[in-house]
Amino acid sequence: MKRNRKQAEPLASRLARLPSLAEKRGEIVVALAGNPNSGKTSLFNALTGAHQHTANYPGVTVEIKEGVVRREGVTLRFVDLPGTYSLSPHSEEEIIARDILLRGSADVVVHVIDSTNLERNLYLLTELLDLGLRVVIALNMYDELLRSHARLRVRELSEALGVPVVPTIGHRGQGVTRLLTAIVHAASEPEQKEKQKSVHYGETLERALDEIGKGLHERTSLEDRYSLRWLALKLLEGDAVVESLVAVESGGEEPRKTARGLREKIQATYGEDAETLIAEQRYGLVAGIVRQSLSLPLEKRITFTSQLDRVLTHTYLGIPLFLFFMWALFQLTFSLGSIPQGWIESGLGWLTTQVKAGFPAGPLRDLVTQGILGGVGGVAIFLPNIFFLFFGISLLEDTGYMARAAFLMDRVMHTMGLHGKSFIPLLMGFGCNVPAIMATRTLETRRDRLLTNLLIPLMSCSARFYVYVLFAGAFFPGREGNVIFSLYLLSILVAVGIGQLLGRTVFRGQGSPFVLELPPYRFPTPRAILVHVWIKGSYFLRKMGGYILAFSVVIWFLGSWPRLPALSTEETITKNLAQSQHLSEQISYSAIGRLGTLVQPIFEPLGFTREMTIALIVGAPVKEVVVSTLGVIYGAGSDSEEGLREVLRSTQLPPLIAYAFLVFVLFYAPCIGTLVAFHRETGSKAWTVFLISYEFLLAWVLAFVVVQGGMVLGLMR
């Protein structure tokens, strides 16, 4: 109940903070509500097409999309609410959906329903009707209902509920025109609200609701803003958020006490609490209406889904098949993704030579070629991974396999305090942390997303692999495989440990109940997948690309300024040597070089040299740079791998320190892209700072343990 109190407090202020959904002039605001897996998003895409954007709600980290459509001279502004099973205050998504509906800023609510699962979906309707909102039902995935040989008397359903019902097939865009007409009609029809049925909760409960409602009406001014019936229901249920909302209202104490008394009385007479009774009544009404308007085929058919599930979640085959799919997804994203990455690199290389030919040598040319083009490359390089990964993820989500993946993996993830669905983002972290963090959107609660996001940077991504290969080659010849393997193992073990630690401390007691729906398998449509991929890619460019670019330029700048005083020609002995020496001295002379000297004492206990410290600072934002920077500082003549390895070997660094260095590189700080993505997805500066600090601390402590432990074991030669 602690969680409730935490959420309870800011509701009133959050409501005040939410900007009005739209300037209400000649505009109808339509909120799209519905259960997860009801095809709500594809219907939203079909309704609004490309005219959609992410709405900005201060302090709200759940993505809410808006889109505008013109129809019969009216502007319809669609707001896509998070998919929820109910309007209870259990998760941030539900609270936000509820806040928006409560504010009354939606003129019409379109309740998107999975036609093949009427009973469970209609439960939400009873809540919408209790809120006193104008509702239109979109009977989505209607084609599946027809294919299942069930017969639904749509008009009878509509009459029984008192709500317009329009069959739709969201992913094919069918029924959209009729739905738009129904929305415009519902918004302008004065009798719509009177026609709508709401649940009759039985005499005892109704009398209690009347009594609470009367108290609220007489003593408070809440009815200007909220439906009294709904408030009364929530008070009777003991909803902590609403209780505190009423309590802060002047005169609210009395009705709240009345509600408490009635709750106890109901509990005593019925032997069940009001919450249970209310849910029973709601399902009672819904089940009755469904039974009357729906005829199911007589024999239970063996469905395509259950046949497929026999294989895909099979006791022995399920997990190997899952691992195969994950392998395929990984290959698709990172092996296939490296091909366009190669094109991007060579394209930028070509551009760099063009600029070099066109500009005179000097700071400006360096800024363009190294700073800006380098930064653009740093952004563009993520795009192929993002496109391929989200292509794969959309495929998994739209087919319904994602839920099975969570079903298969939950046992493993649960030990880390995570949800089964966290597995895929974490696994993808081994390729690249940035798309992995973006993939946490598939998780349903903010707590799971945050915890998963905190763990993803611990996954050893491919940029770090590049550092391992060079170091292992230089310092552990013949044992490269074992060294690299041990680092990956460490990465996983630490993630498990940190996951458990955070789960038991910071996120204690907030574990979301699993309650995972396993929707029927469905054929994905190419259109829906492409739209999703496009949205993700453009989201990355718009919301993250700019920051990554800016940070890259700044870091480059700090590594190049202030500049060394120009060398006179006399000082040049051989041009080649001078150049590498010059670069080396330049880095030491720059802001970063000086910072390196300054913070060197921190790394003294780890046995790192000043050169290594500088490389760590330069490489903090982009890890693959660690090696090349070391090469530059140590004055490697060439960029080739062999050359770098030679130089590293020539430093005579003890292997133990080299290993500690790798451990440090593994954990120390997320790259710029990861940081920006993390900040964007969590929407929290505090958590971003926490991420950087705990990772740094972790890296230092582990490297220290390696060095000290190694010395005790006599490994230092």
Partner 1 sequence: MPESKLSSSLEDYLEAIFLLSGKDGEVRVAEIAETLGFSKPSVSEALTHLEAKGLIEHEKYRGVRLTPEGRIFARQVYERHKTLFIFLTRMLGVPSAQAALEACRIEHTISSDTYDRLRQFVDDQLAQTGDGLARLSELSPGESAEIVRIQAPGWFRHRLLEMGFIAGEVVTIEKIAPLRDPIEFELRGYHVSLRREEAAHVFVRPIVKDETES
What x-and-dash track marks residues 317-356 binding partner 1 by CB under 8 A?
-xx-------------------------------------
Least Cβ distance, residue 522 to partner 1 (angstroms): 14
By CB under 8 A, which span of 283-291, 460-468, 482-490, 536-544 interacts with partner 1?
283-291
By CB under 8 A, which span of 403-411, 490-498, 594-602, 620-628 interacts with partner 1?
403-411
- Helix or strand or coil: residue 101? helix
Find the binding residues for partner 1 in span 102-141 (CB under 8 A).
116-120, 123
Cα dist from 304 to 206, 311, 320, 399, 648, whole Å: 44, 11, 21, 12, 59
Least Cβ distance, residue 124 to partner 1 (angstroms): 9
Is there a contact between 48 and 55 (Cβ–Cβ < 8 Å)?
no
Amino acid occupying residue 575: K
Number of residues that bind partner 1 (CB under 8 A): 57
Q: How far apart are CA 70 and CA 77, in angstroms?
A: 9
In the bound state with partner 1, the residue whose beta carbon lies nearer, of 268 and 361, is 268
Q: Is residue 85 near partner 1 by the rule CB under 8 A?
A: yes
In the bound state with partner 1, the residue whose beta carbon lies nearer, of 29 and 289, is 289
By CB under 8 A, which span of 162-170, 457-465, 512-520, 539-547 interacts with partner 1?
512-520
Is there a contact between 233 and 200 (Cβ–Cβ < 8 Å)?
no
Least Cβ distance, residue 43 to partner 1 (angstroms): 19
Amino acid occupying residue 697: L
Residue with tokens 């700019």: 546
The residue from 4, 338, 486, 684 that contacts partner 1 (CB under 8 A) is: 4
In the bound state with partner 1, the residue whose beta carbon lies nearer, of 371 and 519, is 519
Q: Is residue 537 near partner 1 by the rule CB under 8 A?
A: no
Q: How far apart are CA 256 and CA 232, in angstroms?
A: 9
Least Cβ distance, residue 521 to partner 1 (angstroms): 11
The residue from 54, 61, 75, 86 that contacts partner 1 (CB under 8 A) is: 86
Q: Is residue 302 near partner 1 by the rule CB under 8 A?
A: no
The residue from 218, 223, 264, 280 that contacts partner 1 (CB under 8 A) is: 280
In the bound state with partner 1, the residue whose beta carbon lies nearer, of 51 and 310, is 310
What x-and-dash track marks residues 15-54 binding partner 1 by CB under 8 A?
----------------------------------------
For residue 24, what is the DSSP state? -
DSSP string, 156-178: HHHHHHTS-EEE-BGGGTBTHHH
User: In the numeric block, which tokens belong to residue 239?
Assistant: 């909803």
Q: How far apart are CA 506 and CA 492, in angstroms?
A: 20
Residue with tokens 């046992």: 411
In the bound state with partner 1, the residue whose beta carbon lies nearer, of 37 and 45, is 37
Residues 6 or more apart in contact with residue 528 via CB below 8 angstroms: 42, 45, 171, 394, 398
Least Cβ distance, residue 89 to partner 1 (angstroms): 9
Q: How far apart are CA 679 and CA 683, in angstroms?
A: 5
Is there a contact between 259 and 235 (Cβ–Cβ < 8 Å)?
yes
Q: Is residue 510 near partner 1 by the rule CB under 8 A?
A: no
The residue from 26, 358, 513, 714 that contacts partner 1 (CB under 8 A) is: 513
Beta strands 52-55 and 27-34, pairing class:
unpaired
In the bound state with partner 1, the residue whose beta carbon lies nearer, of 288 and 562, is 288
By CB under 8 A, which span of 26-34, 66-74, 267-275, 521-529 interacts with partner 1?
267-275
In the bound state with partner 1, the residue whose beta carbon lies nearer, of 245 and 662, is 245
In the bound state with partner 1, the residue whose beta carbon lies nearer, of 36 and 251, is 36
Q: Is residue 314 near partner 1 by the rule CB under 8 A?
A: yes
Least Cβ distance, residue 97 to partner 1 (angstroms): 14
Least Cβ distance, residue 141 to partner 1 (angstroms): 13
Residues 6 or more apart in contact with residue 693 via CB below 8 angstroms: none
Q: How far apart are CA 537 and CA 250, in angstroms?
A: 49
3-state secondary structure 431-485: CCHHHHHHHHHHCCCHHHHHHHHHHHHHCCCHHHHHHHHHHHHHHCCCCHHHHHH
In the bound state with partner 1, the residue whose beta carbon lies nearer, of 323 and 489, is 323
Q: How far apart are CA 266 and CA 105, in angstroms?
A: 34
The residue from 10, 173, 202, 537 that contacts partner 1 (CB under 8 A) is: 202
In the bound state with partner 1, the residue whose beta carbon lies nearer, of 48 and 422, is 422
The residue from 20, 315, 505, 574 that contacts partner 1 (CB under 8 A) is: 315
By CB under 8 A, which span of 96-104, 282-290, 556-564, 593-601 interacts with partner 1?
282-290
User: In the numeric block, which tokens belong to residue 252?
Assistant: 């609210």
> For residue 182, which phi and psi values (nearest 5 degrees)?
-65, -35
By CB under 8 A, which span of 308-316, 488-496, 605-613, 631-639 interacts with partner 1?
308-316
- Helix or strand or coil: residue 197? coil
Amino acid occupying residue 439: A
Q: Is residue 514 near partner 1 by the rule CB under 8 A?
A: yes
Q: Is residue 9 near partner 1 by the rule CB under 8 A?
A: no
The alpha carbon of residue 211 and the mean position of all alpha carbons in its chain are separated, in whole angstroms, by 44
Q: How far apart are CA 401 and CA 329, in angstroms?
A: 13
By CB under 8 A, which span of 9-17, 40-48, 202-210, 323-331 interacts with partner 1?
202-210
Q: Is residue 203 near partner 1 by the rule CB under 8 A?
A: yes
- The angle subtended at Cα 589 by Cα 585 and Cα 595, nearest 5°, is 125
Least Cβ distance, residue 172 to partner 1 (angstroms): 23
Amino acid occupying residue 556: W
Least Cβ distance, residue 129 to partner 1 (angstroms): 15
Q: Is residue 436 near partner 1 by the rule CB under 8 A?
A: no
The residue from 260, 414, 441, 543 that contacts partner 1 (CB under 8 A) is: 414
Cα dist from 507 to 62, 148, 416, 425, 512, whole Å: 19, 43, 12, 19, 11
User: In the numeric block, which tokens belong to residue 105?
Assistant: 């800023």
- The angle subtended at Cα 695 by Cα 472 and Cα 554, nearest 5°, is 85
What are the start-end ranges of the H helices in 546-654? 546-560, 575-589, 591-603, 610-619, 625-633, 641-650
Q: In what order do the strands lie in the sheet with 165-167?
A: 52-55, 64-71, 74-80, 27-34, 108-114, 135-140, 165-167
User: In the numeric block, which tokens belong to residue 549?
Assistant: 């670019």
Least Cβ distance, residue 200 to partner 1 (angstroms): 8
Least Cβ distance, residue 279 to partner 1 (angstroms): 4
Binding residues for partner 1, rule: CB under 8 A, are 1, 3-4, 85-86, 88, 90, 116-120, 123, 200-204, 237-238, 268-271, 275-277, 279-281, 283-285, 287-288, 291, 309, 313-316, 318-319, 407-408, 410-412, 414, 420, 513-519
